[in-house]
Chains A and B, each alone.
Chain A
Amino acid sequence: MLGLLETGSGFWSAIIWIVVVLVIGSIVIYIRNKGEDSYKKNTEQDKPFISGNPEKSKENSHLSASHIYWGLTEALKGYYNPLVKMHTGNINDYSGWIIVITAIILIMVGVSG
Chain B
Amino acid sequence: MNLSNHIPILIIAIPLLAAFLVPLIGRINKKATGILTTLALSVSLILTIVLAVKILTVGPQVYVFGATSPSLTLPSGLKFPIRIMLQIDAMGIFMGLITAVVSFVGAVYSLIFMKQHSGLDKYYSLLLLLTVGVFGMEFTGDVFNFFVFLEIASIASVALISFRGIDLGEPAEAGFKYMVVSSISALVVLFAVGIFYGQYDLLNFAALASVIKYSQLDKIALGLLIPVLAMKAGAVPMHMWTPDAYSEAPAPITMMLVAASQASLYALFRVVFSLYNISLNVLTVGWIIIIFGLLSMFIGVTMAIIQKDIKRLMAYHAISQTGYMFLGVGVGLAVLANPVALNQYGITAMEGGIFHIMNHAMYKGLLFLTAGALFFRTGTKNLDKMGGLAHSMKYTTIFFIIGAAAIAGLPPFNGFASKILIYESVYRFNPLLSIIAMVVSILTLASFVKVFHSAFLGPKLPQFKEVKEVPRSMVFAMAVLSCIIIFFGLFPDLIVKNLVHPAVMSLIEQFKYTGTVLGGM
Interface of A with B (CB < 8 Å)? 2-10, 12, 14-15, 17-18, 58-59, 61-66, 68-69, 72-73, 76, 79-80, 83-84, 86-87, 89, 91, 93-95, 97-98, 101-102, 105-106, 108-110, 112-113
- B421 CB → nearest A CB, Å: 6
A6 and B288 CA atoms in complex are apart in Å by 28
Which residues of chain A have C-beta atoms less than 8 A from B281's C-beta?
Answer: 109, 112-113
Of all chain A residues, the one with the shortest Cβ separation from B281 is A112
A98 and B233 CA atoms in complex are apart in Å by 13
A108 and B303 CA atoms in complex are apart in Å by 28
Interface residues on B, range: 35 or more
Q: Which of B435-474 contact A (CB under 8 A)?
A: 446, 450-451, 453-454, 457-459, 461-462
Asked if B509 is at the interface (CB within 8 A of a chain A CB), the reply is: no
Known: A61-B459, A108-B284. A68 touches B454 (CB 8 A): yes
Asked if B237 is at the interface (CB within 8 A of a chain A CB), the reply is: yes
Q: Is the interface of A mostly helix, strand, loop or mixed?
A: helix
Which residues of chain B have C-beta atoms less than 8 A from A110's C-beta?
Answer: 216, 219-220, 223
Given contacts A62-B459, A65-B308, A97-B237, 16 further A-B contacts (CB under 8 A): A8-B425, A14-B412, A59-B459, A61-B458, A62-B387, A63-B454, A80-B302, A84-B306, A97-B238, A101-B231, A102-B223, A105-B223, A105-B227, A106-B220, A112-B281, A112-B283
- B371 CB → nearest A CB, Å: 13
Contact A9 B424 (CB under 8 A): yes
Contact A66 B384 (CB under 8 A): yes
Known: A102-B224, A106-B224, A108-B284. A65 touches B240 (CB 8 A): no
A73 and B305 CA atoms in complex are apart in Å by 9
Contact A94 B454 (CB under 8 A): no
- A74 CB → nearest B CB, Å: 11
Contact B493 A4 (CB under 8 A): yes
Contact B240 A62 (CB under 8 A): no
Which residues of chain B have C-beta atoms less than 8 A from A83's C-beta?
Answer: 299, 302-303
Which residues of chain B have C-beta atoms less than 8 A from A102's C-beta?
Answer: 188, 223-224, 227-228
The 8 closest A-B pairs by CB, nearest first: A14-B412, A65-B383, A62-B458, A106-B223, A112-B284, A65-B454, A58-B459, A8-B348
Cβ-defined partner of B184 (8 Å) among A17, A95, A105, A112: A95
Asked if B226 is at the interface (CB within 8 A of a chain A CB), the reply is: yes
Of all chain A residues, the one with the shortest Cβ separation from B287 is A108
- A85 CB → nearest B CB, Å: 12
Flag B457-500 by CB within 8 Å of A: 1 or 0 each.
Answer: 11101100000000000000000000000000111111010000
